[in-house]
Chain A
């Protein structure tokens, strides 16, 4: 049996790698990929707590399913926004998309 804390450590490491990617990458699509890493870390957490605290119920699995739905919606809208911005600005470098910056 793998202890619960191991899953939590893996999830924490994965989430922090995602945080670094979101804050440090230039490319908008790379940031989207980092967000996917963070969402994966969250699902690992939810399923690990479900497995150890409530294995006979379905609450943790239901929440994980909702995270899947939200992740799919997020990546679709995010990519549409990036493609739209690329059409008008010819770049996906977030350092150069500064229209809302003062």
Chain B
């Protein structure tokens, strides 16, 4: 077992344990902190996948922006944090059954396919390749612009919806 595999297993365990805590703990604020830990573990997985840009974006966008947004949301809707009601609804066992069945299907399907055992090396300028692909009109320039319009619309819409009247 190589060092990379050990690191992968270690941080997979962190990610999965933190994710389980996110969906089970009673205190919502603690759930948000576990979510941040889970995001961090996923960022380490991106480093193992040799995608350093996405590891940095994971830190800035997910742990920074989205984490802060969710914590703000929790603080603005306080009262649910006291933990008087159980965190799961009445159909939690059905939900667990469904999620376990989905996991079983995914694992069985994934094991039937013969995946490539080794991968070639990443291009030295993979970030430059990404930038060129996102701005090339023949490739992803249009989806890229649509994504930016979507972001602006979503943020303006969020301000409009949440504004106090």
Q: Are B70 and A32 in contact (CB-based, < 8 A)?
A: yes
Q: Chain B at the A interface: mostly helix, strand, loop or mixed?
A: helix
Partner of B69, one of A24, A76, A84: A76
Q: Are A33 and B70 in contact (CB-based, < 8 A)?
A: yes
Q: Are A19 and B102 in contact (CB-based, < 8 A)?
A: yes
Interface string of A47-58 (1 = CB under 8 A from B): 110111101111
| Cβ distance A69 to chain B, nearest Cβ, rounded Å | 4
Closest to A48 in B: B49
Does any Cβ of B come within 8 Å of A97's Cβ? Answer: no
Given contacts A58-B132, A72-B151, contact A84 B161 (CB under 8 A): yes
Given contacts A10-B45, A33-B32, contact A86 B76 (CB under 8 A): yes
Q: Which residues of B contact A (CB under 8 A)?
A: 2, 4-5, 8, 12, 15-16, 19-20, 22-23, 28, 31-32, 35, 38-39, 42, 45-46, 48-51, 53-54, 57, 61-62, 65-66, 69-70, 72-74, 76-77, 79-80, 85-89, 91-92, 94-96, 98-100, 102-103, 106-107, 110-111, 115-123, 126, 129-130, 132-134, 139-140, 143-144, 147-148, 150-151, 153-155, 157-162, 164
In the complex, 23 of the A-B residue pairs with CB atoms within 8 angstroms, ordered by the A residue number, are A2-B8, A2-B48, A7-B45, A10-B15, A13-B16, A14-B19, A18-B23, A19-B99, A23-B95, A24-B92, A29-B74, A30-B31, A37-B22, A37-B23, A44-B49, A51-B50, A51-B119, A55-B121, A58-B133, A61-B133, A62-B130, A68-B57, A92-B80
